[in-house]
Amino acid sequence: MADLINYYSFTKDEWRNFYQKHQSVPLTQASLKQIKAFNDEISLQDVRDIYIPLVHLLKLRLKNFNHWQDTKAKFLHKPSRRIPFIIGISGSVAVGKSTTARLLKVLLSHFIKDKKTQLITTDGFLYPNAELHRRGIEQLKGFPESYDMKSLINFLNAVKNGEQEVKAPVYSHQVYDVIPNRYDIVKQPDILIIEGINTLQLPSNQRIYISDFTDFSIYIDAKAPLIENWYLDRFKKLMQTAFQDPSNFYYKYAIGNQEKAIQMAKDVWQDNDLPNLYRNILPTKTRADMIIHKTNGHRINQILLRKY
């Protein structure tokens, strides 16, 4: 495809062969199950074939990044300081971003033990539901205008500047809203993973992009019909599990008419998530340093790595 001419393309087998040093997987099937997102699929073989070579590549990028920061500081006659290496992970809802983010955090912490790794999601920077209502954009939750981009940019700037403690708001999928006065605290990490559908998006009214702060970016890709199937399958399984909790936002659907609930999910996909994917998420794919493409069953069948 013409829009991918600046990427090297590799099959899973080709990618695996780039790093053949034997590395034991620091996970069991049980611990991997705890990491993966609900209804996502990943195996220990995937960890070995895809993610351990990726972590090795990131380790090389981090080494070069730190060397450049020291070189630049010497050139400018400034004291050397620790600047965090930020990894951005983007893609559609239900495509497996959170699995990739959590797995990378575990693997980076294991294979680069002398570096501190933290993870946050951009969900916390959504406007609270009350503010979305005030602005009349409840139906656009997840679209660029539903995020407090100024706060997100200020957060990333503070992290990059090495502030000792930086607060990130916390979003709860249980109540489907930002939790008031609750924060994740980012404490001068060497590596920060930031995961969200908007990590590669162009700003609507700011001159600074999220990607201006990221040092390596990954886009998790799949065909839209497949993502829709994963989205609906996840919804159906959640109806039988997490949604059964009376405190869950979707509890009323779990105890109501099942066909109506599933139709509601289909409508949300067609009216919100699919338009958002085509208008705001998919167009950012070619801004990523790496594209991980999935096919049936969440199987990774292609890795694309930016040439330049």
* 95 is annotated as contributing to ligand binding: yes
* 55 is annotated as contributing to ligand binding: no
Collapse the DSSP code of 206 into the 3-class scheme (helix H, G, I; strand E, B; otherwise coil) and give the result: coil
* 186 is annotated as contributing to ligand binding: no
Write the CB contacts of 111 (distance below 8 Å, at least 6 apart in sequence): 23, 26, 52, 55, 56, 59
The edge-to-edge listing of strands for the beta sheet with 216-221 is 7-10, 299-306, 290-295, 216-221, 85-91, 191-195, 117-121
CB atoms near residue 10 (< 10 Å): 16
* 97 is annotated as contributing to ligand binding: yes
Which region holds residue 176: left if phi is over 0, alpha if psi is between -120 and 50, else beta?
left
- 155, amino acid identity: F
* 96 is annotated as contributing to ligand binding: yes
> How is residue 223 written in tokens?
């065909």
* 136 is annotated as contributing to ligand binding: no
31 DSSP β-pair partners: none
Contact predicate 140/146, CB 8 Å:
yes
> How is residue 48 written in tokens?
């070995």
* Residues of each annotated binding site for ATP: 91-98
* Residues of each annotated binding site: 91-98
